[in-house]
Amino acid sequence: MALQDHAMAVACIVLMVFWGGWVSYKILAAIFKDRFTGVEYLSLASSAWLFPVFFWAFLVVLCAALLGWNAAKALATILILASVWFLFQGRPDVLFSFDSMLLAAFLVASLGWSLAFLQKALLPSYFDSAWHYSIIKQIQGGQVPLTGEYYHLGYHLVSAALASYFIVPVTDVMLVLGQVTLAILPLTFFFPIRFLTRSNSAAFFVVLLAGLGFHMPSHLVDWGKYPALLSLVSIQFVLNILLLVREKEFRRQAAWLAGLGMWLSFFMHTRSIIFFTSFLGAWLIASAWNQFSSLPRYGTPGALLLTLAAELFNANQSAVLQPLLTGYLRSDLWILGLVLSLAVLAFKVYPRSFFLLLCFLALLLLGMLIPVNLPAYGPLTLLDRPYVQGLIYIPLSLIGGLGHAGLIQELCRFFPDWKRLPAFLGLLLWGFVLLNANLHHEFHPSPCCQLANRDDMAAYAWMDKNLPPHARVLIASSGLNVTSFETSDARTGVDGGIWLTPLIARRTVLAWQALDFDQSKTHPQLCRQGVDYLYVGSMPQSFDSARLDLQQKLYQPVFSLPLAKVYRVTGCN
Amino acid sequence: MFGMLKKLSAPRSLLFLLAGLAVLSLLGWLGWKVNQLRQPVDPTAEPILFEYCGADLVDFCVLSFGRDGDGNTIVNLFVPEKKFSAFYLNVIKATGESRFECDKSEDEPTSVYCIGGPVNLNERIEIRLLSKRGDQTLARGRFTITAFLISAPVSESQPTETGTPEAGITVIETPTSGIIFQGQAGSGVSSPADKNEPTPTPSVTPTVSASYPNYP
């Protein structure tokens, strides 16, 4: 699809994100005054844009549920217009500096390569997206799903408000909001590294590293993990603000803001609370470690490395957890090598911060291995593998940034006369990350997870017109395996069939993807269960259409395109 | 002059200037778009030539051919948004002409499928796209249909479950509207508690393959 087809959604969402960032900047500047430079405020505001947007969306959806969408849209407009007066108060000149312009230029470039994803995206990827789409549509319809088993409501409220207010298709909002979030996220890394190291070069390096260095977080959109992606924004905000808790002058304000950020993260993705618990745990351990005398002080990181190795070994033994390792080793090997090399200097120059991040990494991996049994959900682990995979680029990037700053410091110590060394080094490392991105980074939707294609779209349109509203359609499914403890009964759709209910409101019945249609028992069972049609998509795990074609008396093909087929189940009477 | 420039380059003025420029650009773009949509189709214009779609979908093209249950032919088309108003296809074969009615996907307006009379394999056909208003030929292309049914490609990069369950059907119905609340982990999946009927146990246990795969 041409990029211009998303132009309206892009313009509206970028506008709202900028509005959110601007409002956040004004609030943060009112609290912290001259404590930060313009570029630091820009980075902080990049991690805080979600607050105003979320509160705006919350009020709009609430108003829509109580008074209808017309009143809600009026309220939405009033809220934005009322904020404009506030936005133009005070002095915006603090934002205008060479560094902030450089960071803004990065944002423009980042938007460019993130939006390239849209060029080849038809529907949001993977089965999660179909689920999110349904919830957003339901909120648009005036219902708020508040059952015990549902969470991550924040993302859906924001998407529903944006889609309804700007009259943009929900699929567009999902795709564009995801990509715009991805484009802004790297900017949020500038603040912590600048704050900890006072090095602009290292701070810009970590922005690039977080944006293009790893296959995460951009691969999250291939999994339709939009709530997790949006939670990363508030997670980054909390991490940034927690740095200020150490400053007496701003301790109280920072604690309040961090608490608010945690609440927002929880609303976006419940498991982010485990992330914060791990981070606070790592913080406490690192604080204690800082008090150690020399022997345990150097022995503990060794023990921590051994723990990390044991965790990784354990993960590698499990077929479900293994993709975490293969994901990083296959896509990000060169960058991992760079980060590991820089880690030595990070430890030398910033031992406490490095130890904290290492400890945090170990706790995150541990969260993936600790079982919990919740009555409503069955056996789970504290963190699931995809979420951990999406999170660990954060400590890795920060270690890379600290290492970069450490490298500059060490080299400047040895070569004090080389004034241009930081800039030269910065360019060298940026070049490395850019080269690696050019060779290994995926800018388009991954074929692993695009369940629906254009033949599927034609099939949906045909089915919508020709299938009775109460038709039951059998679709292929497989087990859901994201932790080591799931029961084999949890399953999910594996191809375009997953979109039948969200898009055309037809009932679907899940069956194992390897269902043997040659078996004599299969057809009577389908009849007993009232299955009217079978849907065969184009994924490797879709039903085998060749088998079905051999039994046309029982399964009559009624719609056949190369990559999407519909069969009618006949002979049931 | 310099004073004015200095005034303009003040951060506050610059901010207003940028905001004004952004609004003007947006209005200009919208105006251009509206004007583009209003432009009538030139009746003397030469019909566009089209063919099979390539990797990048930019221009009007044929995505695939297929069949429905009555033996009719389905043509799946990519139509750039707002490129053509309501249209139908006229398929010209050696034995005569056939009108194909077209319908587009509500969720993806660039995806249009048309259904009409049967076309034989290896038959050379000319497809003409005609506007419903005025029956004007807007595009045409020549095709030979070499195959209708192509098996879904099986990628080797993603492992498939090797077990052959006896009849592993679970009735986990999705409602006709709304969502599945019985899902697990917020992922739109089923959980054992949702079964309406007992699930037959697969005779062979499928091997575990992780959900959320990495890049192939």
Same domain, A336 and A292: yes
Task: Read off the pLDDT band of B191 (50, 70, 90).
Answer: very low
Give which of B195, B121, B174 is closest to A131, Cα–Cα. Answer: B174
Q: Do B211 and A455 touch (CB under 8 A)?
A: no
Token duo for residue B146 = 């070499």
- The residue of chain B with its CA nearest to that of A126 is B212
The pTM of the full predicted model, rounded to 2 decimals, is 0.86
Chain B partners within 8 Å of A512 (Cβ): 161, 165, 168-169, 202, 206
Q: Which residues 46-85 of A are in CB contact (within 8 Å) with B? A: none
CA distance A266 to A263: 5
| Nearest beta carbon to residue B78 from set A454, A472, A492 | A454
| Nearest beta carbon to residue A458 from set B12, B15, B113 | B113
Task: Read off the pLDDT band of B202 (50, 70, 90).
Answer: very low
Phi-psi region of B185 (alpha: psi -120 to 50; beta: other; left: phi over 0): left
How much is the pLDDT for B168?
A: 53
- The residue of chain A with its CA nearest to that of B26 is A11
Same domain, A80 and A180: yes
Task: Write out the residue range of the structural domain in which residue A397 sits.
Answer: 2-440
Q: Do A521 and B175 touch (CB under 8 A)?
A: no
Question: Is residue A86 assigned to a domain?
Answer: yes
CA distance A426 to A400: 12
* CB of A477 less than 8 A from some CB of B: yes
Question: Is residue A264 assigned to a domain?
Answer: yes
Q: Do A507 and B68 touch (CB under 8 A)?
A: no
Of A371, A406, A440, which closes a domain? A440
Q: If DSSP codes are grouped into helix, strand and coil, which group holds residue A447?
A: coil
Question: Is residue A447 assigned to a domain?
Answer: no
Q: Quick one: what percent of chain A has pLDDT higher than 90?
A: 63
Cis peptide leading into A217, omega within 30 of 0? Answer: yes
Q: Which residue has the higher pLDDT, A306 or B190?
A: A306
How much is the pLDDT for B159?
A: 38
How much is the pLDDT for B160?
A: 38
Give which of A151, A193, A198, A136 is closest to A377, Cα–Cα. Answer: A151
Size of interface A-B (CB pairs under 8 A): 321
| Nearest beta carbon to residue B58 from set A2, A150, A540 | A2
Contacts of B43 (CB under 8 A, 6+ apart): B134, B136
Average model confidence (pLDDT) for chain A? 89
Task: Read off the pLDDT band of A467 (50, 70, 90).
Answer: very high
Token duo for residue A11 = 């313009």
Task: Read off the pLDDT band of B203 (50, 70, 90).
Answer: very low
How much is the pLDDT for A170?
A: 94
- Residue A251 C-alpha from the chain's centroid: 30
B182 burial type by CB count under 10 A (0-12 exposed, 13-18 middle, 19+ buried): middle
Span B22-70, pLDDT tens digits? 777 777 777 776 666 555 555 566 888 888 988 888 888 999 999 988 8
Token duo for residue A295 = 């022997």
Question: Is residue A448 assigned to a domain?
Answer: no
Q: What are phi and psi of B125, to 5 degrees?
A: -130, 155
Split into its structural domains, chain A has a count of 2
Same domain, A300 and A224: yes
pLDDT of A401 above 80: yes
Task: Read off the pLDDT band of B10 (50, 70, 90).
Answer: low
Token duo for residue A228 = 């997790």
Of A440, A463, A498, which closes a domain? A440
**Chain B: closest CA distance from residue A560 (Å):** 5
Task: Read off the pLDDT band of A421 (50, 70, 90).
Answer: confident
Chain A partners within 8 Å of B202 (Cβ): 512
Q: Which residue has the higher pLDDT, B38 or A227?
A: A227
* CB of B52 less than 8 A from some CB of A: no
How much is the pLDDT for B162?
A: 37
- Which among A139, A491, A498, A499 is the top mutation candidate for probing chain B, defined by the most B β-carbons within 10 Å of its own β-carbon? A491
Chain B partners within 8 Å of A331 (Cβ): 214-215
Task: Read off the pLDDT band of B205 (50, 70, 90).
Answer: very low
Average pLDDT for A543-566: 91
* CB of A518 less than 8 A from some CB of B: no
Give which of A161, A152, A283, A273 is closest to A224, Cα–Cα. Answer: A152
Lowest-confidence range among A79-93, A96-110, A271-285, B183-197? B183-197
Average pLDDT for A293-315: 86
* CB of B76 less than 8 A from some CB of A: yes
Q: Which residues 172-201 of B are in CB contact (within 8 Å) with A? A: 172-192, 197, 199-200
Average model confidence (pLDDT) for chain B? 68
Lowest-confidence range among A276-285, A481-490, A495-504, B46-55? A481-490
Task: Read off the pLDDT band of A45 (50, 70, 90).
Answer: very high
What is the radius of gyration, based on Cα positions, of chain B? 27
DSSP A359-415: HHHHHHHHHTT-EEEETTTEEEESS-HHHHHHHTHHHHHHHHHHHHHHHHHHHHHH-
Same domain, A272 and A370: yes
- Which among B6, B15, B59, B107 is the top mutation candidate for probing chain A, defined by the most A β-carbons within 10 Å of its own β-carbon? B107
* CB of B17 less than 8 A from some CB of A: no
How much is the pLDDT for B184?
A: 30
Q: What dihedral angle (degrees, nearest 10) is formed by the CA atoms of A360, A365, A368, A371?
A: -80
Average pLDDT for A456-466: 93
**Chain B: closest CA distance from residue A73 (Å):** 20
Chain B partners within 8 Å of A11 (Cβ): 26
CA distance B8 to A275: 47
Q: Do B189 and A492 touch (CB under 8 A)?
A: yes
Task: Read off the pLDDT band of B107 (50, 70, 90).
Answer: confident
How much is the pLDDT for B104?
A: 87
Q: Do A378 and B76 touch (CB under 8 A)?
A: no
How much is the pLDDT for B176?
A: 40
**Chain A: closest CA distance from residue B134 (Å):** 26
Same domain, A139 and A166: yes
pLDDT of A446 above 70: yes
Question: Is residue A425 assigned to a domain?
Answer: yes
Q: Which residues 117-146 of B are in CB contact (within 8 Å) with A? A: none
CA distance A412 to A406: 10
Q: Which residue has the higher pLDDT, A143 or A223?
A: A223
| Nearest beta carbon to residue B167 from set A442, A469, A525 | A525
Question: Is residue A258 assigned to a domain?
Answer: yes
How much is the pLDDT for A259?
A: 95
Same domain, A185 and A322: yes
pLDDT of A205 above 50: yes
Lowest-confidence range among A42-56, A239-253, B80-94? B80-94
Same domain, A7 and A89: yes
CA distance A462 to A460: 5
pLDDT of A561 above 50: yes
Question: Is residue A87 assigned to a domain?
Answer: yes
Task: Read off the pLDDT band of A52 (50, 70, 90).
Answer: very high
Buried b (16+ CB within 10 A) or exposed e, A473-495: bbbbbbbbbbbbbbeebbbbbbb
Average pLDDT for A251-272: 92
Same domain, A410 and A478: no
CA distance A15 to A106: 17
pLDDT of B126 above 50: yes
Q: Do B211 and A480 touch (CB under 8 A)?
A: yes
CA distance A341 to A87: 44
pLDDT of B152 above 90: no
- Which among A560, A567, A569 is the top mutation candidate for probing chain B, defined by the most B β-carbons within 10 Å of its own β-carbon? A560
Average pLDDT for A105-114: 94
* CB of A548 less than 8 A from some CB of B: no
Establish how many alpha carbons lie within 13 A of residue A165's alpha carbon, considering only the half-sphere containing its beta carbon: 30
Q: Which residues 109-128 of A are in CB contact (within 8 Å) with B? A: 119, 122-123, 126-128
Average pLDDT for B80-89: 83
Q: If DSSP codes are grouped into helix, strand and coil, which group holds residue A192?
A: helix
Q: Do A522 and B167 touch (CB under 8 A)?
A: yes
How much is the pLDDT for B161?
A: 39
Same domain, A121 and A203: yes
* CB of A349 less than 8 A from some CB of B: no
Highest mean pLDDT pick, A24-28, A379-383, A416-420:
A24-28
* CB of B213 less than 8 A from some CB of A: yes
pLDDT of A405 above 50: yes
Q: Which residues 78-97 of B are in CB contact (within 8 Å) with A? A: 78, 80-81
Chain A partners within 8 Å of B206 (Cβ): 478-479, 512, 514
Average pLDDT for B104-109: 84
Span A160-176, pLDDT tens digits? 999 999 999 999 999 99
Span A328-339, pLDDT tens digits? 998 899 999 999
Chain B partners within 8 Å of A373 (Cβ): none
Q: Do B152 and A487 touch (CB under 8 A)?
A: no
Which amino acid makes up residue A175?
Answer: L
pLDDT of A573 above 90: no
Lowest-confidence range among A66-75, A489-498, B27-36? B27-36
Same domain, A402 and A510: no
Q: Do B68 and A559 touch (CB under 8 A)?
A: yes
Question: Is residue A445 assigned to a domain?
Answer: no
Q: Quick one: what percent of chain A has pLDDT higher than 70?
A: 95
Q: Which residue has the higher pLDDT, B174 or A495?
A: A495
Token duo for residue A148 = 């015990």
Q: Do B182 and A509 touch (CB under 8 A)?
A: no
ipTM value, please give it.
Answer: 0.80
Establish how many alpha carbons lie within 13 A of residue A276's alpha carbon, considering only the half-sphere containing its beta carbon: 25
Lowest-confidence range among A2-6, A389-393, A442-446, B152-156? B152-156
Same domain, A416 and A502: no
Q: If DSSP codes are grouped into helix, strand and coil, which group holds residue A570?
A: coil
Is A529 within 8 Å of B197 (Cβ atoms)? yes
Of A418, A440, A462, which closes a domain? A440
How much is the pLDDT for A478?
A: 86
How much is the pLDDT for B96?
A: 86
Same domain, A433 and A520: no
